[in-house]
Structure 1
Amino acid sequence: MPTPTTAPSTRGPVALAAAGAVLALALSACADPEEGASAEEAVGDSPFNLTPEQDRIRAEAVPEIADLVPEEVRASGELNVGHSSGGAPPLTFYADDDETVIGVETDVAQLIADVLDLEYVPEATGWENLFLSVESGRFDVAVSNVTVTEERKDLYDFATYRVDTVSFESSVDSGIEEVTEPADVAGLSVAVGSGTNQEEILLRWDEQNQEAGLEPLDLQYYENTSDYYLALRSGRIDLYLGPTPSAAYHVEVAGETEIVGTISGGGEIKAEIAAMTLKDNGLVEALNAALNEVIEGGEYQQALERWAVDGEAVPESEINPTGLPRS
């Protein structure tokens, strides 16, 4: 996790929306989506709606829940939401205008803002800036595939809304049948995002393998999602470990790869995705109540079904559950 710094608080609208998609598999993930990829760069030709004009699921305002919002935020009339700046369908990625960020995370954020009777004001930024901007007050909340960890709970509060899994993706002709444990990746070349929970999983697995006398992993890092998939196609890497929804979307759309293993975003430990706000700022109770309102009302399930990630749905939102342990 990056070391937070202080930055000026800003409030300014960025037009974001959400789109629908169909996945073969859909659970959740714990990493940051790669930055800077457009819809075409991220997934190639797609049969799905990748335009900025989307018909999102909406919810009604609930006054008693809106009253839980801290006065400063309520007086502004806005909920400033940070999202990662794209490249990982169906989580967050750029529409075909290369400017508008769409994805299931924007759908969830819109529902939260609706219940809280606030204008949804999203902004796309780099993964590390999500944490810095929540700390500085630039964002009231980050809704961007953030995993709850014990280290992050020192600085932030969390309201959960998805389970968290990651998947190993290989080329269809790789000959790799299944990945379920550390020994399955010994000696292989595996791509992973730097600074992600997936990287931590692989580092732990590699340590276990080497202690057992197995061949070490060859970890590879690339700048964006399209580079990972080019490396898979060319045979430069054997596997890519990334968010399950993104892997499932790519498998469905591109038809060049397959999922050969799915594990918890914490490896051997249960992991959860949550809306993240600054610790003790009073907002997490409102976020939690809003999420439980749309879970009970069915809008949450509809939003996840639009992206076919309903397999990762949670029965209720929790505040600050046990997170992944400190490294």
Structure 2
Amino acid sequence: MKKFKNVILFMTTLALALTAACSGSKSNESAASEQNSQETTSDSNKYIIATDTVFAPFEFTDASNKFVGIDVELLDAIATDQGFEYELNSLGFDAALLAVEAGQADGVIAGMSITEERKAKYDFSDSYYESNVTMAVAIDSDISSYEDLSGKKVAVKTGTKGADFAKSIMEQYGFEITEFSDSPNMYQDVIVGNTVACFEDYPVMAYNIKQGAKLQMPGDIKESGSSYGFAVSKDKNSELLEMFNKGLANIKANGTYDEIIEKYTK
């Protein structure tokens, strides 16, 4: 009887040992799998890039519902040249900046002017476009100069160089400012007469007028504008910024850059 009890005790101990061993093996396999998954994610060369929704000719949706524009094609050409993958998220200008600040996007390309104020939050690439600022009015408007804006309302797009310029002269010429989050609504406000003029980057306004916007640029006004740059959050994603600069230099050298610019501005 004693021997029989010893046998039972031995078999029970062996079973428990085998169960623990199997459990440990599965746990190790699970940990290894999780580690491999984390390594795959961290080694990924795909970046999230935020952009505006409507800022033609830099980013917009064409007649076939395809997202296109100077920024879109430049980014694609640079990514191809440098061998990195990206996902382009069309968020709107303000939302794109917030996404980068919050770490939800690695970079932003959205006709973004390089300014000293923005340099406090972002690191910028080399300039990829030089732009001027212009004023536009409705096609039947009698506004022909800044003096004609006195006592009236002027439309601007929040966060743009056009808005900065308008604010810099508003007291001098005695007009008020109404801000919009996107260009199409700003244009429409001028067209229907709620505001008498708007300030916009010259290539953007010229493109929209060419496409049929019922606006005109009185006297073809061109004020000193700004340089556009690709941006990442301050002191982050330096490798992405470096690749953008290298790729930009390469596509300028091989003619791809000029082809893209001429496609949307000629």
Give the whole-Å Cα distance in 2 for the aligned partners of 1:194 and 1:91: 17
CA contact (8 A) 1:187 1:218 kept: yes
SS in 1 for 2:116: coil
1:105 maps to 71
Percent identity of the aligned residues?
23
The 5-angstrom pairing of residues 137-216 of structure 1 reads 137-159=103-125, 160-177=127-144, 179=145, 183=147, 185-209=149-173, 216=174
1:29 maps to none
Give the whole-Å Cα distance in 2 for the aligned partners of 1:292 and 1:74: 28
CA contact (8 A) 2:57 2:70 kept: yes
Structure 1: any 5+ residue segments left out of the alignment? Answer: 1-71, 210-215, 266-270, 310-327
CA contact (8 A) 1:74 1:118 kept: no
Give the whole-Å Cα distance in 2 for the aligned partners of 1:217 and 1:125: 31
Q: How many angstroms does 1:97 deviate by?
A: 6.1
Structure 2: any 5+ residue segments left out of the alignment? Answer: 1-39
Larger relative contact order (Cα-Cα within 8 Å, sequence gap ≥ 6): 1
Q: How many angstroms does 1:246 deviate by?
A: 2.4
The 5-angstrom pairing of residues 246-257 of structure 1 reads 246-254=204-212, 256-257=214-215
Cα distance, 1:184–1:108 mapped onto 2, change above 3 Å: farther
1:275 maps to 230
1:240 maps to 198
Task: Identify the range of structure 1 (88-97 vs 271-280) with the bigger mean alpha-carbon deviation.
Answer: 88-97
Give the whole-Å Cα distance in 1 for the aligned partners of 2:129 and 2:181: 26
SS in 1 for 2:200: strand
Structure with greater helix share of residues: 2
Q: How many angstroms does 1:138 deviate by?
A: 2.7
CA contact (8 A) 2:154 2:198 kept: yes
Q: How many angstroms does 1:108 deviate by?
A: 1.0
Q: Are 1:121 and 2:78 matched, yes or no?
A: no
The 5-angstrom pairing of residues 1-327 of structure 1 reads 75-84=43-52, 86-96=53-63, 100-159=66-125, 160-177=127-144, 179=145, 183=147, 185-209=149-173, 216-222=174-180, 224-254=182-212, 256-260=214-218, 261-265=221-225, 271-281=226-236, 282-283=238-239, 284-308=241-265
Cα distance, 1:103–1:157 mapped onto 2, change above 3 Å: same
Match of 2:193, as an amino acid? Answer: G
CA contact (8 A) 1:148 1:272 kept: yes
SS in 2 for 1:87: coil
1:209-241, CA deviations, whole angstroms, 9 ceiling, x for partnerless residues? 4xxxxxx20222346444333333333322111
SS in 2 for 1:139: coil
TM-score, normalised via structure 1 length: 0.61
Cα distance, 1:272–1:73 mapped onto 2, change above 3 Å: farther
1:10-39, CA deviations, whole angstroms, 9 ceiling, x for partnerless residues? xxxxxxxxxxxxxxxxxxxxxxxxxxxxxx
Cα distance, 1:195–1:119 mapped onto 2, change above 3 Å: closer
CA contact (8 A) 2:134 2:202 kept: yes
Bigger-Rg structure (1/2): 2
CA contact (8 A) 2:122 2:232 kept: yes
Q: How many angstroms does 1:135 deviate by?
A: 2.8
Q: How many angstroms does 1:194 deviate by?
A: 2.7
Match of 1:83, as an amino acid? Answer: T
1:82-110, CA deviations, whole angstroms, 9 ceiling, x for partnerless residues? 111x2232121223465x43211101111
Q: CA RMSD for the aligned pairs? A: 2.5
TM-score, normalised via structure 2 length: 0.74
SS in 2 for 1:249: helix
Match of 2:151, as an amino acid? Answer: G
Q: How many angstroms does 1:176 deviate by?
A: 2.8
SS in 2 for 1:307: helix
Q: Paired residues, what number?
A: 222
Give the whole-Å Cα distance in 2 for the aligned partners of 1:262 and 1:73: 48
Q: How many angstroms does 1:300 deviate by?
A: 0.8
CA contact (8 A) 1:109 1:120 kept: no
